[in-house]
Structure 1
Amino acid sequence: MRMEEYVAARGDTYRSIARAARVGIRELAEANPQRPADEPLRPGELLYVPAGTAHRRMYVVQPGDSLTAIAEWIGCADRRLRELNPLLPAGDEPAPGTRIALPAPTSGRIVVPSSAYGPDRVAADLKRLVSAFPFVKTATIGSSVMGKPILAAGIGDGPFRWHLNASLHANEWITSLIAMRFLEDYGRACRRKTQIGGFDAAELYRRTTLWVVPMVNPDGVELVQEGLRPDHPLAARIGRWNRGSASFRNWKANARGVDLNDQFPAGWEEERCRRGVHSPAPRDYSGDAPLSEPEAAALAEFTEAQSFDAVIALHTQGEEIYWNYGGLEPPESKIWAHRLGLASGYRPIALTGSDAGFKDWFIAKYRRPGFTVEAGCGRNPLPLSAFEEMYDDCLRLLTEALDLSPG
């Protein structure tokens, strides 16, 4: 592969350089074996960056152009243009005649980011994915409190069984977009026999089976996105639990005010006491018993039936990877977490003082690798403007995870 030289500037990281060059952090680290990948860069260090093989979409700045106007035309944030063009003067507009790289087009996509990406959109997009990629399987694994189907999609034909779930917490619904976009990109790469995240998609398909539950908590997501409708069967109670507020931005729970990621039988009593929330609420109420909620029970039953070899629960925010639980995790968990961190730029963390999560239960029950990935940074719900950056990180992380599978 052809390499280009790059001189590190103040504030540069492997992650920012890789994103600007449109390569993976892992590829960048492999191109620079002369230095530790986890050591901070010093301004002036010379790095070798793999040159992309695809032609970038470019634009020549015209008189009167501004970065904001170009971003609005192309449909992205100003920040994204600066990431793609790290040599632009900070704070200044590009001069006429300057060539700048533009994001790749999203036309023809099935999964399109929207602030209304709720359970109906997930169901519709899954149908379209199956139509476009007939090798994608779907299943209904259960129903929510309000009777909405909890859907799953499978891709791959390999012996190692991975599982990914998203939107256990309602105001983290952007994780459903990430999961669905990954299904689309993986399916397209398999159909075209191309790479995804730097890996051969057909080879990942041959070695692994991946089952995705893109929206575990459809009732809660609907509350966050649409608010409480007057005709909602639980309107009076939900309104009371939300202290009369019309805003559900901080709502993490399901329609019965139960935090689904505090529902699993792994230190459930300890977590309930630690939280100190003893009645339905927007967050942190563990319920009356483990797996009392249909969404959590459905996810546990599906996991037991499929006997997954490893799992990832996708959450926001913090850009961290939690990989342990009470010393019950297998030895490879720490090694895998380091590789996932190198691929995504996220920090592997040995977490203490937390119980009753899906990852905790999986590790405790099966003694197999389980991870909670906290994508993105900021305050939940994270804005749609953060989606592309988050997705790029998660794409690298998820393809690295699939490559971890033995065989």
Structure 2
Amino acid sequence: MYSVETYGYLDLVEGCRQLTDRYPFLSAYVIGESVMGKPLLALRCGTGPRNIHMNGSFHANEWITSALLMRFVADLSAAFCSGERISGQQVVELCNRVTLWAVPMVNPDGVELAQRGTSPSHPWHRQLIAWNGGSDQFSGWKANIRGVDLNDQFPAFWEEECKRRGLAGPGPRDYPGPYPLSEPEAIAMARFTETIAFDAVLALHTQGREIYWNYRDYEPAEAEQLAWKLGQVSGYKPVKLTGSDAGYKDWFIQQYRRPGFTVEAGYGENPLPMSNFDSIYVELQPLLLEALRL
């Protein structure tokens, strides 16, 4: 499903094709496009009335989250079709109660840049080099192709986040953009969320082995207890976060007053190498499965 060293947009597209061909139970949808016109893909897994959303690669150099989420969707689909269990959970029963909507790669342009860098033929080449401080090394790039941090793009105290970041313009990370939802990837995620009205959301990031579950006291009363459940099965630490605004999880909690989680998977320096994939997935799979039971 992915190459040894990286997991990129073409791997994602091919993975979605293979999975939807193999499992009629699984459906793929286009929910929008990136700045450079790449279709943003969502996978629907399950038939239940409760809708749970998970996403990966909001941040470009956290692309391993896309591979992790795709593996989970593959495992869930295979278990559903074979009647097997995952971690003791009867998947057919679970997927009759819940529908998982996964967007494995929110930021495909940024992922491509972080993995491959840029070249003179790239339409944004000069701007990207300038925004990257003159460097042609992009492995640390978190933003989208326009230098906007997509997880600082949502209308949840966005102005406060701008003041905190203190950045005047595009760059590798932390620039919230000229206004909320200025970027097509963020618009697509907001519209997708408004259309489905998820019961809970989980955004996969790296790294730190932590679970963020709150937002300015807008979260529902049960949110902390649910985070502890996720922590119990994974070994990850639930953390009550302060001093952060405008993230996707923040906006969801404020808008819907429903459970939202940011999960910082793995440990090390981003981008986490694919050699860490198996050990991270062992921790993450029970957490994602538990999230479907919430």
> Does structure 2 conserve the Cα–Cα contact (< 8 Å) formed by 1:310 and 1:369?
yes
Corresponding residue of 1:306: 196
Distance 2:179 2:5 in 1: 33
1:112 shift after superposition: 3.6
Asked if residue 276 in structure 1 is aligned to residue 162 in structure 2, the reply is: no
Cα deviation per residue 1:178-222 (whole Å; 9 max; x = unaligned)?
Answer: 010001110100011011132111111111000000000000000
Partners of 1:260 and 1:296 within 8 A in 2: yes
Q: Which residue of 1 aligns with 2:80?
A: 190
**How far apart are the structure 2 equivalents of 1:207 and 1:329?**
23
Q: Distance in 1 between matches of 2:266 and 2:215?
A: 23
Deviation at 1:237, TM superposition (A): 0.4
Letter in 2 for 1:201: V
CA distance in 2, matches of 1:181, 1:304: 26
Distance in 2 (alpha carbons) for counterparts of 1:171 and 1:114: 16
Give the distance between the partners of 2:13 and 2:148, measured in 1 at CA: 24
Residues 257-296 of structure 1 mapped to structure 2, 5 A cutoff: 257-296=147-186
| Equivalent residue, structure 2, for 1:67 | none
Residues 171-320 of structure 1: pairs in structure 2 closer than 5 A: 171-320=61-210
Residue type of the alignment partner of 2:175 = Y
Matched, 1:356 2:242: no
Identical pairs, percent? 56
CA contact (8 A) 2:6 2:274 kept: no
- C-alpha separation in 1, matches of 2:211 and 2:14: 31
What is aligned with 1:338?
Answer: 228
Aligned to 2:92, the other structure's residue is in SS state helix
Partner Cα separation in structure 2 for residue 252 and residue 115 of structure 1: 18
1:146-205: CA deviation from partner (whole Å, max 9, x where unpaired): 111110000001111000000000000000000100011101000110111321111111
Q: Pick from 3, 17, 27: which aligns with 1:127?
A: 17
Counterpart Cα distance in 2 of 1:274 and 1:352? 12
Describe the superposition over 1:324-381 as per-residue Cα deviations: whole angstroms up to 9, x where unpaired.
Answer: 0000100111111000000110000110110000000000000000000000011100
Between the aligned partners of 1:391 and 1:261, the Cα distance in structure 2 is: 23
Matched, 1:393 2:283: yes
Q: Distance in 2 between the 1:401 and 1:325 partners?
A: 18
2:21 is the counterpart of 1:147: no
* 1:48-63 → structure 2 map (5 Å cutoff): none
Give the aligned partner of residue 258 of structure 2: 368
Deviation at 1:113, TM superposition (A): 5.1
Structure 1 residue 116, shift from structure 2 partner: 3.3
Which whole-Å CA distance do the structure 2 matches of 1:221 and 1:318 have between them? 20
Distance 1:193 1:112 in 2: 26
CA contact (8 A) 2:2 2:11 kept: no
1:260/1:286 contact within 8 Å kept = yes
d(CA) in 1 for partners of 2:272 and 2:125? 26
What secondary structure is seen at the aligned counterpart in 2 of 1:209?
strand
- CA separation in 2, counterparts of 1:261 and 1:114? 28
Measured in 1, the distance between the counterparts of 2:35 and 2:283 equals 33
Q: Output one character per residue of 1:55-84: Cα deviation in whole Å (capped at 9) or x when no partner.
A: xxxxxxxxxxxxxxxxxxxxxxxxxxxxxx
* Whole-Å separation in 2 of the counterparts to 1:197 and 1:389: 16
Aligned counterpart, 1:379: 269
1:328 corresponds, among 218, 243, 266, to 218
- Distance, in Å, in 2 between the alignment partners of 1:277 and 1:196 is 45
Q: Is the 8 A contact 1:115 1:225 kept in 2?
A: no
* Structure 1 stretches lacking a partner, 5+ long: 1-110
Provide the rounded CA distance (Å) in 2 between the counterparts of 1:139 and 1:350.
34
Distance 2:195 2:168 in 1: 32
Which has the higher Rg, Structure 1 or Structure 2?
Answer: 1
